[in-house]
Amino acid sequence: MFGEVTHCGFSDESKHGRYQSIGLISFPYSYLDVLESVFESRCNKYGFRDLRKVKWHKLSSADLRLCMQDLLDLVIKCVTDHDLRVDVLIWDNQDSRHNIQGRDDAKNMVIMYYHLLFNVVTNRWPEGSVWEICPDRNNEMDWGSLRDILNNQGTYTLIDSDESGKITINLTEKYKMSIAPATPPDSPLIQLADIFAGMATYSRANFEKWKVWESRGQSRLIPFENEISLKRRDRERCAVMNSFKNSCDENKLGVSLNSTQGFRTRQPSNPINFWLYKPQHEKDKAPIH
């Protein structure tokens, strides 16, 4: 028997240039209704009743910037006042693991999901937790492949699966998990995961733009000769990053940006954890076709 759900998670992926990421928001299930309600209310406040428009890659206006700043303030309040985590796994397609001929990005995404889910569920939350994970269905992940990886690692027992892609498993002997792909209208907090995943990859792929924006004192002055040009979407995104970083600093959350050339958390147990994946050993290579 699966048992009553105690914890839930919402995830989405992002790709920006050479970097890819998966964002995961996780918290006790008892918070779900309140958090969804507050999230939707804040989006509506800025005119975003269609939650599909609250995505990082659509950020190019003041209205969406203000909305995202409000949402990120909400997250920081939840991680400081309540029991909520944000974990973002980021990887570099030009590192020694990924810069190989014939790389299979679809299979690699599955492997990265395995690393993220297994790490967060088993290392950051209590034993005996019963999980419901809702990833974005639109990303067309092959969840059957994730099940196979878990099986090869000897870390799960299949309880059930169905044609919708939902799988229900025992993760080791101490955790149970169902993975049920959903869409933002049904699971709005997927959009929170999208914001974090997109912000993480943008901060790395466009770190030089961030430095230009920061060095100008956040002004809109005409760039010097040979200086990187900032489009409006870059200015809006850098403003969101700046607001978020300042809030993290004020709350001593240990999130770095400048010293790590992109968002990164040095202490992974911190409630907002930007995890830059590093190859574990010489034979740690991405799968190929």
pLDDT tens, per residue, the chain with 289 residues: 467 999 999 999 999 889 999 999 999 999 999 999 999 999 999 999 999 999 999 999 999 999 999 999 999 999 988 799 999 999 999 988 998 999 988 889 989 998 999 899 999 999 999 999 999 987 767 777 777 776 666 555 555 566 656 777 777 778 888 888 898 889 999 999 999 999 999 999 999 999 999 998 655 555 554 567 899 999 999 999 999 999 999 999 999 999 999 999 999 999 999 999 998 888 889 888 8
Question: pLDDT tens digits for 242-264?
Answer: 999 999 999 999 999 999 999 99
Is 201 a member of any domain?
yes
**What pLDDT shows up at residue 289?**
87
Q: Locate the DSSP E strands across 30-155.
A: 85-92, 130-135
**What pLDDT shows up at residue 45?**
97
**What pLDDT shows up at residue 168?**
75
Q: pTM for this one? A: 0.92
Tally Cβ neighbours within 10 Å of residue 114: 18
Task: Find the domain containing 73 and state its range.
Answer: 7-276
Here the contacts of 246-254 (C-beta below 8 Å, separation 24 or greater) are: 247/72, 247/73, 247/76, 248/76, 248/272, 251/76, 251/79, 251/80, 253/76, 253/79
Q: How far is CA 273 from CA 14, 197, 215, 256, 265, in A?
A: 16, 11, 26, 10, 5
**Cβ partners under 8 Å of residue 226, min gap 6:** none
Contact 204, 19 (CB under 8 A): yes
Measured CA to CA, the distance from residue 18 to residue 94 in angstroms comes to: 7
Please give the angle made by the CA atoms of 9, 195 and 273, to the nearest 5 degrees. 60
Single-letter amino acid, residue 244 = F
Is 89 a member of any domain?
yes
Is 180 a member of any domain?
yes
Is 199 a member of any domain?
yes
Measured CA to CA, the distance from residue 75 to residue 78 in angstroms comes to: 5
Is 287 a member of any domain?
no
Tally of domains in the chain: 1
CATH for 159:
3.30.420.10
Of 170, 146, 177, 175, which is closest to residue 156 (Cα–Cα)? 170
Query: What is the DSSP secondary structure assignment for residue 23, as one 8-state letter?
Result: E
Is 1 a member of any domain?
no
User: Half-sphere exposure (CA, 13 Å, Cβ side) for 279?
Assistant: 14
Is 200 a member of any domain?
yes
**What pLDDT shows up at residue 217?**
65
**What pLDDT shows up at residue 93?**
93
β-strand partners of 255: 265
Is 110 a member of any domain?
yes
